Structure 1
Amino acid sequence: GSGSIVYTNRLVDRLKEGEEEKIELWAKAVEFSGSALADESSLTFITNNIITPANTLPVILVDSATQQILLSRNVVDSLSTLDEREEQLLQTLQKMKKENEPFPITVRNASDGSISDIQYVYFRNSYILRQLRSYPYIQLTVIAVFAIIAYLAFSYSRTSEQNRVWVGMAKETAHQLGTPLSSLMAWLEYIRSMPEMQGRSELIEELDKDVERLERITSRFSNIGSVPVLKDEPVYVVVKNCLDYLRPRLSSKVVMEVESSFEELNAKMNKPLFEWVIENIVKNGVDAMSGIGSIKVTIGQESANEVFVDISDDGKGIPKSKVKNVFRPGFTTKKRGWGLGLALAKRIIENYHQGRIFVKSSQVDVGTTFRIILRP
């Protein structure tokens, strides 16, 4: 790209020098044709071989004393009105003064050869030369546009492939879980009907919870593997129920609370998937606190088009250098972590709910706050 610009600029400079030499020769020819030394044969030669052939560039001849335009060539449109031609002449003259230094023409008296006037030849470079100067930049722009289009197409293709992998894995997982789950549910009903199990209600209840848990997981993977249906759900109720479900399954030293001044606030969501996001973030917070601390969920509405859910913990926090990577698949600070929880949460919120999820704030040894934004 830079080589093309350098080469073109050198070529333009050479062509410009040639045009300047042509204008200078034209100016000298005009000067000579007005002198007393020019005879008829010389005037004919100069007119036919110098003045007329060089009359292809935009040229304006100006009197130095009065600044009056004496002559112009290839400047104005012959079909324009007189006022339009005068305005165009003045505008072009200003451009010529900025672009090139003029060539002087000395006018002498025929009687004694003394200088009677000085005139200046102003000129512009040819249209082709001006276009040639901008050509490499246009060329680079076109190349850049094609490169951007190719990059976007490649990114879209890669993203589509990742989406297909996610969906395929989710569908296969739901399918693999579905078959043994159906058998477990049948066995649970059989065990429940056995006479010797009538006094073992606590065992049946625990088995029920485990089967319900597997049903929940299967439903989540099934929703990821298909187009999820979004419904108006009360955000406070969904979050509270999710925390109530998690509370007995987490450390007893973790305190969880929900705070909202809008208990009737609704948002478009797929309930099983949204609960999965809350569960992932809460469990990450509990791990960051080593099982001791508090989780606070704040629900609110900053505008008519946004409902936010802030999930805060008082764990060890995230260093600033790692904040931008927390949603990247494979990123984890756990020794045995897969690094998929937050990546999955980001996909659920942004791809399926058309919302946003990000780290609102984080300080080392103070805690972290994640913010989820949904459409009401």
Structure 2
Amino acid sequence: MLKSFDIYNQNNSLKIIVALNLLLVGTASLLYTNRLINKLEEREAHYVILYAKTIAYLVDPSHFDSGDLTFVTSEILEANRTVPAIYVDPNGQISKPLNIDFPENLTDEGKQQFLRDKTQEMKKRHPPIVVEIGNGERGLVYYDNSTLLRQLTYFPWVLLAILGALGVLAYLAFSSSRRAEQNRVWVGLAKETAHQLGTPMSSLMAWVEFMRSDPAQYDESITDEIAKDVSRLETITARFSSIGSIPTLKEENITTVVEQFTDYLSKRISTKVKMSLASQIPADQTVKINKLLFEWVIENICKNAVDAMKGVGELRLTMQALSNQEIAIDITDTGKGIPKASMQKVFTPGFSTKKRGWGLGLTLAKRIVEEYHSGKLFVKSSELGKGTTFRIILNADTGQQKKAVQAQPSEKEA
């Protein structure tokens, strides 16, 4: 028996596994680096203690046992080449700064002030080390983290940021791969649907020709309507075949295209829906579109509107020229409206408020308008219980628009 294979659930599991691995790597890196930092802090503190003892010896060698103490100056002082340190004597005078980088062009007084400010900064990070120099007097050694230690302090956060960025890139790549897979499925399904429609369409065309051969028995008007529906099926087949391919755009009279299609559509929706078209653009205004696909956009929006009105209401199409040489087509219904929470979801694949359907109509419409025609499709306005207006914006033929004279507003009821 065949088992169902849900690639999308598997993809979600893979994403969780990837995220957990990234989290583990980041956590382990942070803990390990903190351990190194603690060890380095201990070592550098030890260096400063040696530095403090050295200063104590140099100030008053009598406190030390006799013997060869040349290592104090030749080794211990030279050992610290990275930790910034400043000695302040019992009188508060600063001397013997170690590994301090001074700004350029400072005077001697400026250097002393710079060192005093530096000791205050160091005091905030580490308590100073006391230097016993005899007679109850004490000096202080202030110190700071070395460059290496500062770099290691920031290293875990930099590493986590890098891992986070890699995780985001992995997620985007994975999501892109999934969308590509979805697109391949839909394209394959659409082309297979178009292929399967071919056989019954051929049969229907043969029946139409048979009915036309005997006009005495078959009403010619009925035959013509059937022929229109067969032609419509051919159009739908062409649409499905074109999915996944780059469509060819042609200059079309936009008013004529919309008028002809609304005439056709008005006879095939509920008779209780009043459908009207108002045009406020030049009668000869052209727009570069793919007629078959653009009609599909109008059809999807209008059929959604009819469903929202439950087959009763008013459906208005309004065409107008915008100030930025664009054409706007508004499709307004008197349906139930769209809740604000769903306003951004209406174009999401699979989103539907109907019991039937796959929730792809508006998704395809938006893709056709925005990706193929470089236009825009969005919900212009919606009010619960009163209706919704979808707006399509297309780039007008600017050359034609300059020559055309603005036509008087005309309205046609279908």
1:76 and 1:88 in contact (8 A); partners too:
no
Task: Work out whether 1:343 is the aligned partner of 2:363.
Answer: yes
Q: Does 147-156 or 32-41 show the bigger shift?
A: 32-41
Name the structure 1 match of 2:76: 50
Unmatched 5+ residue regions in structure 1? none
**1: distance between equivalents of 2:146 and 2:261?**
75
1:275 CA displacement: 0.9
Partners of 2:394 and 2:88 in 1: CA distance? 71
Quote the residue 1:284 is aligned against: 304
Q: Tell me, yes or no, if the aligned pair for 1:30 and 1:51 is still in contact at 8 Å.
A: no
Indicate the larger mover: 236-245 or 267-276: 236-245
Alignment partners' CA distance in 2, 1:302 and 1:97: 67
Q: Deviations over 1:134-189 (max 9, x none)?
A: 22222222222222222122122111112222222222222222344344334433
User: Is this contact kept in 1: 2:82–2:147, CA < 8 A?
Assistant: no
Residue by residue, what CA displacement relative to the aligned partner does 1:259-302 show, whole Å, maximum 9, x if unpaired?
Answer: 44334654442111111111111111112112221112233455
Question: Counterparts of 2:149 and 2:325 in 1: how far apart (Å)?
Answer: 55
**Which stretch shows the higher mean deviation, 242-251 or 81-90?**
81-90
Q: 1-side partners of 2:96 and 2:325: how far apart?
A: 68
Q: Secondary structure of the equivalent of 2:105?
A: helix
Partner of 1:249, secondary structure, is: coil
Q: Which residue of 2 aligns with 1:18?
A: 43
Structure-1 residue corresponding to 2:205: 185
- Bigger CA drift: 251-260 or 286-295? 251-260
Range 29-38 or range 261-270, more displaced: 261-270
What is the alpha-carbon root mean square deviation over aligned residues? 3.6
Query: TM-score, normalization: structure 1?
Result: 0.80
Match of 2:62 in 1: 37
Quote the offset at 1:48 in angstroms: 4.3
Change (3 A) 1:183 1:55: closer
Identity among equivalent pairs (%): 48
The 1:227/1:125 distance shift into structure 2, 3 A limit, reads same
Q: What is the 5 A alignment of 1:1-376?
A: 1-2=26-27, 4-35=29-60, 37-38=62-63, 41=67, 43-48=69-74, 50-61=76-87, 70-76=95-101, 83=105, 90=114, 93=118, 96=122, 99-103=125-129, 113=135, 120-194=140-214, 196=216, 200-263=219-282, 266-300=286-320, 304=324, 307-376=327-396
**8 Å Cα contact 1:33-1:43 kept in structure 2:** no
Shift of 1:206: 1.9
The answer as to whether partners of 2:128 and 2:143 remain within 8 angstroms in 1 is yes
Relative to structure 1, the CA distance from residue 275 to residue 62 in structure 2 (aligned partners, 3 Å threshold; closer, same or farther) is farther
Higher relative contact order (CA 8 A, sep 6+): 2
Shift of 1:7: 4.8
Instruction: Report Cα offsets for 1:68-101 as digits up to 9, x if no partner.
Output: 6x33333449xxx973899999599486466444
CA distance in 2, matches of 1:93, 1:53: 22
**What displacement does 1:50 show?**
3.4
Report the 3-state secondary structure (helix = DSSP H, G, I; strand = E; otherwise coil) of the residue aligned with 1:256: strand
In 1: Cα distance, 2:376 partner to 2:111 partner: 56
Structure 2 residues without counterparts, runs of 5 or longer: 1-25, 397-414
Runs of 4+ in 1 over 6 A off after TM superposition: 63-67, 84-89
Mapped to 2, the partners of 1:227 and 1:20 lie a distance apart of 69
Tell me how far 1:132 sits from its aligned partner: 1.8
The 3-state SS of whatever aligns with 2:62 is coil
Note the C-alpha offset of 1:233: 3.2
SS across alignment from 2:335 = coil
Report the counterpart of residue 10 of structure 2 in structure 1.
Answer: none
Does the 8 A contact of 2:280 with 2:321 survive in 1? no
Could you tell me which amino acid in structure 1 is paired with residue 174 of structure 2? F
Q: Contact conserved, 1:306 with 1:374, CA < 8 A, in 2?
A: yes
Change (3 A) 1:186 1:88: farther
Query: Per the alignment, in what secondary structure is the counterpart of residue 303 of structure 2?
Result: helix
Q: Which moved more, 1:277-286 or 1:181-190?
A: 181-190
Alpha-carbon deviation of 1:246? 1.3
1:247 partner letter: S
Partners of 2:146 and 2:220 in 1: CA distance: 98
Task: Compare 211-220 and 232-241 and name the one that shifted more.
Answer: 232-241
Deviation at 1:26, TM superposition (A): 1.0
Q: 1:186 to 1:119 in 2, by over 3 A?
A: same
2 CA distance for matches of 1:266 and 1:100?
76
Tell me by how many angstroms 1:14 deviates.
4.2
The 3 A distance-change label for structure 1 pair 322 and 34 is same
Which residue in 1 is equivalent to 2:412?
none
Q: TM-score, normalised by structure 2?
A: 0.74
